[in-house]
Amino acid sequence: MNNPIEINAVSAPKAFDIKRLRSDLSLLMAALIWGTAFVAQRLGAEQSGIFIFNGLRFLLAVLVLLPFIRFHWKVERTVLPQVLLTGLVLFAASTVQQAGLQFTTAGNAGFITTLYVVLVPILLMIFWRQKISRLAWAAAVLAVAGGWLLSTRGTFQMAPGDGLELAGSLLWAFHVILIGRLAQRMDPLKLAVGQSFVAAILSLTTGLFFETHTLAQIASSWLPLLYLGIISTAVAFTLQIIGQRHAPATDAAVIMSMEAVFAVISGYFLLGEVLYTIQIIGCAMIFVAMLLAQVRRT
């Protein structure tokens, strides 16, 4: 008589764990793509301008994703304002982050951007009155500490662009929270198309007013544009949305902080960059933080 009850008690969590595992793997894959796309992003923006390049990147992502929703984008009116807001935040975050890179070091930018991991739970507490577990706080702080060692090798010198990077980090934190709230209410592909379309229109419109790059200059960045538009935007942002359907925003931010680890590792293997011992320690700290984010509260 007791066996059926015992089997049900054991099997139910397993089904839930599989969903969470898939979500975590989706987020980890997105972090891997973003971590290896840094070089392409910087090169492309230098050749064709921040706004024009980002606009074409987001527009390409829309064109790639549209066939998967049969060219039919329709959402409920109740979520449409949130989709528009998410696209606006995506536009602002990508613009501010890229602009800051022109006035600061890559190390400073990497560390400051990592701060969004700890900003997510802070914003959730302030604006959404959400309680964050001590373990989640520990994981977030550990990830930021690891990001500091990884990006700056334990030293930090202020630069003019750091303020822009901090604003970008705050915007990325809002973006993670907005995605987490929308991912459970609408189709991931439709959300990916919606936010990318808004970001594309805003970027291209701004670029037409403030940038004077020629068609030849824009065409010269076609290779990084293809990679970033298809892989880093269409695929990775969709993976983020899929992942956040079952992963809390704070946990998702910790997992996606692995982007910094993948960026350093890809630089080591693909570009021959030096990997210092203190950076390896930072990588290990972020990895441990990711594991801590998986521990459930009982």
Greater model confidence, 7 or 252: 252
The pLDDT of residue 1: 44
pLDDT-derived band at 97, boundaries 50, 70, 90: confident
- Domain around 238: 2-292
* 118 within a domain of the structure (yes/no): yes
Q: Measured between alpha carbons, how far is 114 from 127 in angstroms, rounded to an integer?
A: 21
Question: How confident is the model over 264-279, as a mean pLDDT?
Answer: 84
pLDDT above 90 (res 284): yes
Q: Which long-range contacts (CB under 8 A, 24 or more apart) does 104-109 make?
A: 104/159, 104/160, 104/161, 104/162, 104/164, 104/165, 105/159, 106/38, 106/151, 107/151, 107/152, 107/153, 108/151, 108/152, 108/156, 108/157, 108/159, 108/161, 108/162, 108/165, 109/151, 109/161, 109/165
Q: Region 240-244: what's the mean pLDDT?
A: 96
| Residue 298 included in any domain | no
- Is 49 part of a structural domain of the chain? yes
**pTM, to two decimals:** 0.89
Residue 94 lies in a domain: yes
140: phi > 0 → left, psi -120 to 50 → alpha, else beta; which? alpha
Hey, is 111 helix, strand or coil? helix
Indicate the average pLDDT of the chain.
Answer: 87
More confident residue, 234 or 5: 234
Three-class SS of residue 253? helix
Indicate the SS3 state at residue 293.
coil
Find the mean pLDDT for residues 147-162: 88
CB 135 within 8 A of CB 297: yes
How far is the C-alpha of 268 from the C-alpha of 9, rounded, in Å?
47
Q: At what angle do helices 188-210 and 80-100 cross, to 10 degrees?
A: 50
Mean pLDDT of 263-276: 82
Q: Is the pLDDT of residue 9 over 60?
A: no
- Predicted local distance difference test score (pLDDT) of residue 16: 47
Report, as an integer, the average pLDDT of 91-105.
Answer: 87
Q: Does the pLDDT of residue 2 top 50, yes or no?
A: no
Q: Highest mean pLDDT range out of 65-79, 88-102, 169-183, 253-267?
A: 169-183
Please determine, for residue 258, whether its predicted confidence score (pLDDT) is greater than 50.
yes
Could you read off the pLDDT of 17-61 as tens digits, one per residue? 788 889 999 999 999 999 888 666 666 556 667 898 889 999 999
Structurally, the chain folds into a number of domains equal to: 1
pLDDT at 47: 64
- pLDDT above 70: percentage of residues in the chain: 88
What's the pLDDT score for residue 182? 96
User: How does residue 118 score in pLDDT terms, banded at 50, 70 and 90?
Assistant: very high
Using CA atoms, how far residue 49 sits from 134, 196, 209, 213, 225, in Å, is 43, 18, 12, 7, 12
- Residue 181 domain flag: yes
Of 21, 49, 18, 65, nearest to 236 (Cα)? 65
- The mean pLDDT of 3-21, rounded to a whole number, is 53
Give the pLDDT of residue 40: 66
Q: What is the pLDDT of residue 43?
A: 60
Q: Is residue 297 part of a domain?
A: no
Residue 17 lies in a domain: yes
How does pLDDT run across 200-241, given as a tens digit for each residue? 999 999 999 888 766 666 677 788 889 999 999 999 999 999
pLDDT at 252: 96
Query: For residue 3, what pLDDT band results from cuts at 50, 70 and 90?
Result: very low
Q: What does the pLDDT look like over 127-145, one tens digit per residue?
A: 999 999 999 999 999 999 9
